[in-house]
Amino acid sequence: MKIALAQINTIVGDFTGNLAVARRILTEARQAGAELVVFPELTFAGYPPQDLLEKQSFFEKNLDALHSFRRDVKGLAAVIGYLDRNPHSYGKPLFNSAALLEDGEIRQVTHKCLLPSYDVFDEARYFEPCAQTHGLFDFQGGKIGVTICEDFWNDADMFPHRLYRYDPVAELARHEPALFININASPFSLGKPLFREKLLTHAARKYNTPVIMVNQVGGYDEIIFDGNSLAVDDTGKVIARCPEFAEELKVVDLSRSNSAVPYESPPLAEQIFRALRLGIHDYSRKCGFRKAVIGLSGGIDSALVACLAADALGPQNILGVAMPSMFNSPESVEDARRLAENLGIRFQVIPIREIYDVYIQDLASAFENRPFDATEENLQARIRGNILMALSNKFGYLLLSTGNKSELAVGYSTLYGDMCGGLAVIADLLKTQVYEVSHWINRQQEIIPRSTLTKPPSAELRPNQKDQDDLPPYEVLDDILSLYIEEQLSLAAIVGRGFDPALVRRIITMVDRNEYKRRQAPPCLRITGKAFGLGRRFPIVQKFQY
C-alpha cells in the first residue's frame, strides 16, 4: 500500500485556507500514486482552537469543510481530523475525531479517547472522550487501527506512571490490525522528537505492526509544531520521515522493502534556532504582519532576536533601533550598528536622554529629592518601550521583545518597558542558551559582533552596571532555574544538588514574587516542557512556603 503523509501548516479557524491546503495535498498525493493520504489532527479547524470551540458557527464551518472535501476524495482514500458532534444528551458537545473518506463518502469515523489536560493542553474542557476504543477502519480487505495523538501516549512500557487507565493502542492491537495510523498535533519541545520516535518504534516492535504518524507543523501563538512525521515498519525501523519545521508530502510504499531512514538530530542550538525562526515567521504571517521592529541595545539578547527575525522575515523587513541614554557606552551603540550592517537590516538611533531629563524635571517635586534608584532605571526602559510601540503603531511593525527566560524568571525586566511587544521570542531560553545559540550563529563568520559575545551582560541603566551586581553568575542561576521551573524540584531537593541554601531560597522567592509581571508579558515562544505562559499556571496571590 502506498501511503502519503501530509505534514501541513494550517491556521486556526481559516476553514477556506485549510480546505485549500487539503485539496492541494490531495491532488499531489493522487499524482504520486498514493492509495491513502493521512492528514493531521483537526485539519480543518487547526489546533489548538481553544474557546473558538464554544462557537456553534465554528463547528458548523468545520463540518462544511469536511463535507466539501470528502466529495473531492476519489481515486484514493483519506484519513483526516475534524470536529464531530456528540449526539448524546450528556457530556461535552464535541468529539475530536478522525474520518476515513473514500469515493466521495465518509466511510468510518472514530473519536479521540484520551484527552490531555496538562501543559498547553486543555481538551477535557471541550471534548467528550470516546466511550470505548473503536478506531478499527476497514480498508482494502484489512483492518487499520486509527488513533488521535494522545491515544498513542499511554504505553505502560514507556510511561511507568500512566495518566490514563487504559491504552487504546493495546486494545486495538487485540484485533490484529495490519497498520496503525496516528494523526497528531504534537507540540515541539527540546528532546521530544526523539522521544516521539522511540514511542512509535517501540509500538511497532511490540505489536509487530507498521505505524504511520502524521504531525502538523507550524507556529500557533506560543506553540511550535515540528512535524517530524514518521512511517515505521513492523520491525520498528523508520522507513520514511518528514523534515523538521517544514511542510512536506511524503509517500511511502509499505508493500516493498524499505531502507532505514535514521534521525540525524541537529545540534541543540540549531534546533532552537529553527524552531524560533518558524515561530516568528508563522506568528507574523498568520497575524498579518510583514515587518518587525526590535530595540537593539548592543547586547546579546537583542542581537539573537534580530538574527532570528532577519532569517524569518527577511532582513529588508526588520528595523533595529538603538536608544542610548547617558549610561550607554558608545561601544554598545556601535555593536548594535555593526550587527545591523552584518544582517542587512535597517537601523536607527533615537537618543532618549533629553526625553528622560524632561521626565526627571517634571517629576522632581513629586519625587521629593529622593535618591536615584530602580525607579529611574525603569523610567529609561519605559521610554524605550514607548518609542518602540510608537514605531509599531505608526508603521504597522510587530514589536519583538527581547527578554530571556532567566530575566523573566527573577523579574529582571521592566513591566511596560523592555517587556513591551507582540511576541516574546527568546522568553523560553535561559541566558546560557542565548549564548549557545549565538555562538552557533557565528560558527562560520562573525554576524553577532565578538564584543557583544564577550562583554559582561548589562542593562546599562546606571553607571557601570553589570547583571552580576544583582544576580549570581548565569551558569549558577540557570541551573537553579532549570531545576525549579522545568523539573519542579523543591528547595530542599535543589539544595541537595550542591547549591547554597540562601541563594536557592532567594532565587525561588524572586521567581514566585514576579508572577504578576509574567502574566502581563507578550506570548512566549515555547521550546521547553515548561515555558512561561499557556503551559505554566501559577497564582499571583499565594503564600506557599518551601
**Residue in this structure with the C-alpha cell 522545568, named with its chain if needed:** 486
Is residue 149 among the annotated active site residues? yes
Residues 6+ apart with CB under 8 A from 358: none
Instruction: Catalytic residue, from 35, 61, 102, 112: name it.
Output: 112
Q: What does each C-alpha distance from 8 to 36, 159, 185, 229, 242 come to in angstroms? A: 16, 29, 11, 10, 10
Strands, E, within 28-165: which ranges?
Answer: 36-38, 77-85, 94-102, 105-111, 136-139, 142-148
The C-alpha atoms of residue 458 and residue 297 are separated, in whole angstroms, by 10
In angstroms, the first-to-last Cα distance of the chain is: 58
DSSP summary character for residue 321:
E
Q: What are the backbone dihedrals phi and psi of residue 325, each rounded to the nearest 5 degrees, phi first?
A: -115, -170
DSSP string for 261-295 = ----PPPHHHHHHHHHHHHHHHHHHHHT---EEEE
Q: What are the backbone dihedrals phi and psi of residue 132, each rounded to the nearest 5 degrees, phi first?
A: -150, 155
The C-alpha atoms of residue 499 and residue 41 are separated, in whole angstroms, by 44
For residues 72 and 81, is the Cβ–Cβ distance under 8 A? no
Residues 6+ apart with CB under 8 A from 359: 379, 383
Cα-only R_g, the chain: 26
Residues 6+ apart with CB under 8 A from 344: 310, 315, 316
The C-alpha atoms of residue 153 and residue 105 are separated, in whole angstroms, by 30
Instruction: Catalytic residue, from 41, 128, 150, 460: name it.
Output: 41
For residues 253 and 194, is the Cβ–Cβ distance under 8 A? no
Pairing of strands 105-111, 94-102: antiparallel
Q: Among residues 207, 459, 226, 142, which one has the least CA distance to residue 323?
A: 459
Q: Among residues 84, 106, 82, 103, which one has the least CA distance to residue 94?
A: 84
Instruction: Catalytic residue, from 61, 123, 130, 149: name it.
Output: 149
Q: Among residues 440, 103, 444, 461, which one has the least CA distance to residue 303?
A: 440
Residues involved in catalysis: 41, 112, 149
